[in-house]
Amino acid sequence: MVCAEITKMSGAGIMLLSGDVPQGSVCTTNDVSALIEELQYTLGEGPCIDAHRLRVAVIEPDLADPLTQRWAEFSRSAVEAGVRAVFGFPMSIGDVHIGALNLYRDQPGPLTDDQHADAVVMAGVAARSIIGMQAEAGPGDLAPGLEASGNFRFVVHQAAGMVAAQLEVPITEALLRLRARAFSSGRLVSDVAADVVARRLRFSHDDPD
* Distance in angstroms between the alpha carbons of the first and the last residue of the chain: 38
pLDDT over threshold 50, residue 51: yes
Pick one of 3.30.450.40, 2.60.40.10, 3.10.25.10, 1.10.3720.10 as the CATH number of 2-148. Answer: 3.30.450.40
CA distance 191 to 113: 39
* All residues at 6 or more sequence positions from 119 whose CB lies less than 8 Å from its CB, including other chains: 3, 7, 57, 87, 89, 101, 103, 111
Contacts (Cβ under 8 Å, ≥6 apart) of 165: none
**Tens-digit pLDDT profile for residues 177-188:** 888 888 888 888
Cβ neighbour number for residue 106 with a 10 Å cutoff: 13
* pLDDT tens per residue, range 63-98: 999 988 899 989 999 999 999 999 999 999 888 898
